[in-house]
Structure formats: structure tokens, C-alpha cells
């Protein structure tokens, strides 16, 4: 089962900052326009929504196989050992060591236990 995740740390900050820059440009275009509906603002906001959906769908973890897929990598990383370093109310925080120099921090939404 795929577990969708949120990137944390420097990689997440860089990735989500360019994503929200597109949203900010759309808001600025919407406020600067003198029409009721600004076409450039709609196009920019639509691009943001499409990229956000693509990001959510393209970043996932399959826990049983250890397959980690990130939206900015072409090929998924296989058998990355995950270390759980914190548990919050809604998220479980993991740390994955990709190589000797790079560590990726992830937040995965806790799944609700099945009612039986």
C-alpha cells in the first residue's frame, strides 16, 4: 500500500518553496489585474494546482518493499532504510539515509486503525 509523504528538511524547503512561488505569482497577478477575472492569474493558479496534485501523487513510500519515490527524482530509490525518529499526533517522522552525505526527512500521515 502506498503511503504518501511530505518532504521535510532542506530538500522539502527548496521543493515546496518553488511550488508556492507559483501560487504567489498567481495571487499577485490576480490582485494587479483590473478585470474581474484575470486570465493570467487563473492559468498560474491552475498550474499550481496541477503541480500540487502531481507532487502529492508522485511522492510515496511502499513500506514492505522499501521503495521510496520522490517527485524530483526520475527513478525511485530502492531499499532505503528508514529510521523513525519522532511520532506526533497525526504524523510519523522518518529519516532516510540516501548516501553518506545526504539524509532525507519525511513525514507520513498516520493511518487510522481499522474498526472491527
Structural domain boundaries in the chain: 3-109
Q: What is the mean pLDDT of residues 21-33?
A: 87
CA distances to 5, 81, 85 from 104, rounded to whole Å, are 12, 11, 12
pTM across the whole model: 0.72
Q: How far apart, in whole angstroms, are the C-alpha atoms of residue 37 and residue 25?
A: 15
Residue 61 or 27, more confident: 27
Lowest mean pLDDT among 12-16, 87-91, 92-96, 98-102: 98-102
Using one digit for the tens of pLDDT, what is the confidence trace for 37-65? Answer: 888 888 998 999 998 888 888 777 776 77
Residue with cell 530509490: 77
φ and ψ at residue 4, rounded to 5 degrees: -75, 150
Amino acid at each position: 500500500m502506498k503511503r504518501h509523504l511530505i518532504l521535510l528538511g532542506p530538500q522539502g524547503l527548496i521543493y515546496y518553496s518553488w511550488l508556492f512561488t507559483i501560487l504567489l505569482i498567481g495571487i499577485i497577478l490576480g490582485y494587479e489585474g483590473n478585470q474581474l477575472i484575470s486570465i493570467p492569474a487563473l492559468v498560474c493558479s491552475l498550474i499550481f494546482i496541477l503541480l500540487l496534485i502531481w507532487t502529492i501523487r508522485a511522492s510515496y513510500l511502499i513500506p514492505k518493499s522499501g521503495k521510496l519515490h520522490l517527485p524530483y527524482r526520475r527513478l525511485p530509490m530502492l531499499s532505503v532504510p528508514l529510521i523513525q525518529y519522532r511520532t506526533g499526533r497525526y504524523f510519523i517522522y522518518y529519516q532516510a539515509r540516501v548516501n553518506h552525505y545526504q539524509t532525507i526527512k519525511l513525514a507520513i500521515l498516520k493511518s487510522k486503525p481499522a474498526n472491527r
